Chains A and B, each alone.
Chain A
Amino acid sequence: MSAPVSRRSVLKGSLVLAFALAGPDVAWAAPAKKNGLPQDLARTPGLDAWIRIGEDGVVTLMTGKVELGQGILTALGQLCAEELDVEPARLRVLSGDTRVCPPEGPTAGSMSIPNGGAAVRQASAEVRALLVDMAAKRLRVPAKRLTVRDGTLQDSGGGARITYWELVGGKRLQREATGTVAPKPASQRKQVGRPLPRVDLPAKVTGETRFVQDLRSDRLVHGRVVRAPTPGASLVAVDSARVAAMPGVLKVVRDGDFLGVIATREWGAVKAAAALAAAARWKDGAPLPGDPHAWLLAQPTQDTVIHSVERPTDVAPTRTLEATYRRPYQMHASIGPSCAVAEWDGTTMTVHTHSQSVFETAEALAKMLGLPKEQVHCRHQDGSGCYGHNGADDVAADAALLARALPGRAVRVQWSREDEHTNEPYGPAMVTRVRAGVDANGDVLDWDYALWSTAHGTRPGGEPGNLLAGRSLAKPFAQPEPKNGGPPNYAADRNAIPLYAFPGQAVTTHFVKAMPVRVSSLRGLGAYANVFSIESFVDELAHAANADPAAFRLRQLRDDRAKAVIVRATERFGWAGFQRRPHHGRGLAFARYKNLAAYCAVCLEVFVSPDTHVPRVVRAVIAADAGEVVNPDGLANQLEGGLIQSLSWSLKEAVRFDARRILSRDWEGYPILTFSEAPSVDVQLIDRPEEPFLGAGEASQGPTAAALANAVFDATGLRVRDLPLTSERLKALRG
């Protein structure tokens, strides 16, 4: 009954084969820095690297940015269709294929629209200008008499017409972007700014092949990797003879501490991996710290004053307040565990992956395998939402190592739930300490902020030592020493600099290099803890000043766009006229993500049960300003999703572990927010079509956490400074 599925139908799933491409043979000169070009386009200025017009009238857009469930391919398509004057349906988007797409770095940090989107817009505008020029020459009419509609150019004076594909179908333009063509002004946009439906959703609600988890071929086999049962453990011995003899098992692979098995069928691989795990003896690594926050404060640190403003006046503060906040280790916790399909044909290692960083991961894989870079071909295929650096890259390495041991077969590896929960790199625990000297009005004179954190970025970045498997080989690759990110985006200290116009300011980062628990980028990086801390403390200051928290913020802000989101959020929420019911409270928080991306204010109403102390969010309002909005529905979806995810982190989530092992091994050990716990969310967008794009995918994480703590304080008078904000903590505070 299982009809053989051809290679072709496998590839069809990856969006790639619907049209033929000339191939990856275009070698552009080293990226030139050109003035006036968006960064990604300056790096890859050849227009053929971005857009191809097929003879069949299909327009192909190539992008190095990848779909993570954030709707990026839809938005990029809108930008391209807009500037080229083609219908979105005419577009095919190729994404994250290291051999055909422009290298645009990782899809991360809320930078895909500001960088990738700006590049697509400019490249499309330039291609259109070239095509209009060519048509004018061909039709012998002045270029300004030509109008374009869905790729057809028409002479408004005569009536002569020609299409893009008649002009250049199948041929290369062989031109570079110049930066001299202006994209359309806001008043002329038809596609951008509209809520176009997501291009990838139909396939996902019908079960067509769109996820890497669903790739199949007649050469498909199933691999599983047996991971160390405790962090840092090493494999002492394994008796694999019995496993190798199990029905359907094709191979047991061991290389140092890397232990895996390949079987013909998936269930067979699951059972073989369990048997292999039972046959393996491990030696524990170093013990894990008991209290991660005490541990952080006790470590040697690399200290940097990242910001300081000397107060011009020397009035003595009338009062000094101080508080310490903590954030635990938290998981990405994707619903679908990480997965990859790899195939080694003796020349090329092809890896289908949902990595956020296909180019850098391809490089890391090549080094791990000892292959030249050109021999590793990564092709992005959608996965379950990742929200940062999860197991995607590690499982790609697992699949590649197993595939190398079994040439000619496509080896699919999907992590188990326990693999994912216990091996993904967590969002790091942090401690922050803030002290403020205030004047007689309660306004801040001196603001002193310090944070302690391990690294937030251990993405592959071309280094096999950042891959779990790369570190476990018999000849292991060492994990590179982690670095903190600097300005303007920052990492641990992202959003640590306040936006408020406090006269005296000092911000210090205490960076800890050791990583007893595996860590990396989780949506928002340090912004989650820093905004939680700053906005909780500003609330504490407002209460100490007997001021309304909204008015208190507004009077210390100078940025009108910042004020506008606070005003919009509080108006929609009904802040001023809030009728306090017993055990209910309201909370507000604000941030501009990275201090340079989207502005976001969140208002929440909570109910805290007097009996159980369980806090429940009743309703939420977000107001955001992301500059020009490409797809308002996509943006609203991201902001609301971010709010609900942040509520989940902030109400329920902390990775539990003892001295030996991770205790959060499944969803019971690491519960997340459910339907009954998710509040209604009202998303308000302030669209500014004339302004630059401001990335927004991570904007609501920080403000949500602080708005929650502030609302709980309003409801109960209890100030929780340790996340997550659980009923146990409230009970303990109540005493």
Chain B
Amino acid sequence: MAFTLNVNGASHVINEEEDIPLLYVLRDTLRLNGAKYGCGVGQCGACTVLRDGSPVRSCVVPAVSLQGREVTTLEGLRAPDGALHALQRAFLAEQAGQCAYCIPGMILSAAGLLRRKPSPTEADIRTALDANLCRCGSHNRIVRAVQRAAAELAE
């Protein structure tokens, strides 16, 4: 079936099966790398993107259900001139990540948090990221990166 999807500010006509999760449209149809496959069942957060600014697990959200919504992936965080988002800069400044496979999901979940709560406490950040799994043990650097981005955005 055909439907329209608004991703990173551009409108796309999608011709896909009715049951296709958003993740596969983003990766396979639109060729975007940001959202990663981690579990496919909503348990790890690697596939997190924003739906109207709030984090969702793209592996379990049917793409058709997002008609009329604004989807943002890692690629959509950069400014039109290519400048990195404050969170991306902060993750680099803190060298937050080892393999970094989990990082796109972390950044998008954090973006959702900062939108909801611009000055989160450390506990807020940990709670907001609790369902995002990291196997490399980069947790503390990721928390510091979110704190750094929050501080910068608050200026």
The residues of A with any CB-CB pair to B shorter than 8 Å are 1-2, 5, 68-71, 195, 197-198, 200-202, 204-209, 211, 213-214, 216, 222, 265-268, 270, 333-337, 382-385, 387, 414, 416-417, 633, 637-638, 640-645, 648, 666-668, 672-676, 678, 680-681
Contact = CB atoms under 8 A, between A and B. Distances in A.
A265 B88 CA distance: 31
Tier of interface size on chain B: 35 or more
A645 B34 contact: no
Interface string B120-147: 0000011101111111111111110000
A404 B137 CA distance: 38
A216 B28 CA distance: 9
A648 B132 CA distance: 15
B103 A205 contact: yes
Given A206-B88, A207-B32, A336-B99, 15 more contacts: A1-B29, A1-B30, A201-B100, A205-B88, A205-B103, A265-B24, A266-B27, A385-B99, A637-B98, A638-B98, A643-B137, A667-B133, A673-B137, A675-B142, A676-B127
A638 B75 CA distance: 28
Given A205-B100, A211-B101, A385 B136 contact: yes
Contact of A641 (B17, B24, B130, B136): B136
Interface string B68-80: 0000011100100
Scoring B84, B95, B125, B132 by chain A CB atoms within 10 A of each residue's CB, the highest score goes to: B95
Given A637-B141, A667-B44, A668-B43, A205 B97 contact: yes
Nearest to A620: B140
B104 interface: yes
A387 B99 CA distance: 10
Contacts of B107: 205
Contact of A213 (B20, B36, B132, B140): B36
Interface in B9-65: 12-13, 16-17, 20-21, 24, 27-34, 36-41, 43-44, 46
Given A2-B29, A640-B137, A643-B137, A204 B103 contact: yes
A230 to B, nearest CB: 21
Contacts of A205: 74, 84, 88, 91-92, 97, 100, 103-104, 107
B150 interface: no
Given A266-B28, A336-B46, A214 B132 contact: no
Given A335-B38, A644-B137, A674-B130, A382 B99 contact: yes
A71 B73 CA distance: 26
A644 B139 contact: yes
Contact of B135 (A198, A267, A387): A387
A69 B99 contact: yes
A213 B78 CA distance: 22
Given A206-B88, A267-B24, A644-B137, A2 B30 contact: yes
B129 to A, nearest CB: 5
B111 interface: no
A207 B104 contact: yes
Contacts of B46: 335-336
B104 A414 contact: no
30 contacts: A1-B12, A69-B99, A69-B100, A69-B101, A70-B98, A197-B95, A201-B91, A201-B92, A205-B84, A205-B97, A206-B84, A207-B75, A211-B33, A211-B36, A266-B27, A267-B20, A333-B135, A335-B46, A335-B102, A336-B46, A337-B37, A416-B40, A640-B141, A644-B139, A644-B140, A673-B137, A675-B132, A675-B139, A676-B127, A678-B126
| Best-buried of A69, A643, A668 by chain B (most CB within 10 Å) | A69
Given A211-B101, A213-B37, A1 B44 contact: no
A640 B98 CA distance: 11
A442 B38 CA distance: 51
Contacts of B92: 197, 201-202, 205
Contacts of B143: 675
Given A202-B92, A385-B136, A667 B130 contact: no
- Secondary structure type dominating chain B contacts: loop
A676 B128 CA distance: 10
A238 to B, nearest CB: 23
Contacts of B32: 207
Contact of A208 (B13, B33, B40, B73): B33
Contacts of B16: 267
Interface of B: 12-13, 16-17, 20-21, 24, 27-34, 36-41, 43-44, 46, 73-75, 78, 84, 88, 91-92, 95, 97-104, 107, 125-127, 129-143
A385 B98 contact: yes
A42 B141 CA distance: 39
Given A204-B100, A385-B99, A385-B101, A336 B133 contact: no
A266 to B, nearest CB: 4
Contact of A385 (B20, B30, B40, B135): B135
B98 to A, nearest CB: 4
B13 to A, nearest CB: 7
A265 B101 contact: no
Nearest to A266: B28
A201 B99 CA distance: 9
A213 B26 CA distance: 14
Contacts of A2: 29-31
Contact of B37 (A414, A673, A681): A414
B133 A672 contact: yes
A207 B137 contact: no
A289 B33 CA distance: 42
The CB with the most chain A CB atoms within 10 A, among B43, B73, B74, B101, is that of: B101
Nearest to A414: B37
B111 to A, nearest CB: 12
B78 A206 contact: yes
B97 A204 contact: yes
Nearest to A646: B137
A5 B138 CA distance: 33
A537 B102 CA distance: 37
A336 B36 contact: yes
A335 B43 contact: no
Given A335-B46, A640-B137, A676-B127, A633 B95 contact: yes
A197 B30 CA distance: 31
Contact of A666 (B36, B43, B134): B43
A640 B97 CA distance: 11
A198 B133 CA distance: 22
A681 B137 CA distance: 11
B137 A642 contact: yes
Contacts of B142: 675
Contacts of A676: 126-127, 130
B58 to A, nearest CB: 12
A214 B39 contact: no
Given A384-B99, A641-B98, A676-B130, A666 B39 contact: yes
A195 to B, nearest CB: 8
B8 to A, nearest CB: 11
Nearest to A71: B98
A678 B73 contact: no
B25 to A, nearest CB: 8
A201 B137 contact: no
A383 B126 contact: no
B126 A336 contact: no
A207 B84 CA distance: 11
A337 B43 CA distance: 13
B13, B99, B140: most-surrounded residue (chain A CB, <10 A): B99
A356 B30 CA distance: 31
Given A207-B74, A207-B75, A645-B136, A336 B97 contact: no
Contact of A201 (B31, B78, B95, B131): B95
A615 to B, nearest CB: 18
Contacts of A198: 95
B101 A336 contact: yes
Contacts of A675: 125-127, 129-130, 132, 139, 142-143
A638 B84 CA distance: 26
Q: Which of B107, B133, B136 has the most CB of A within 10 A?
A: B136
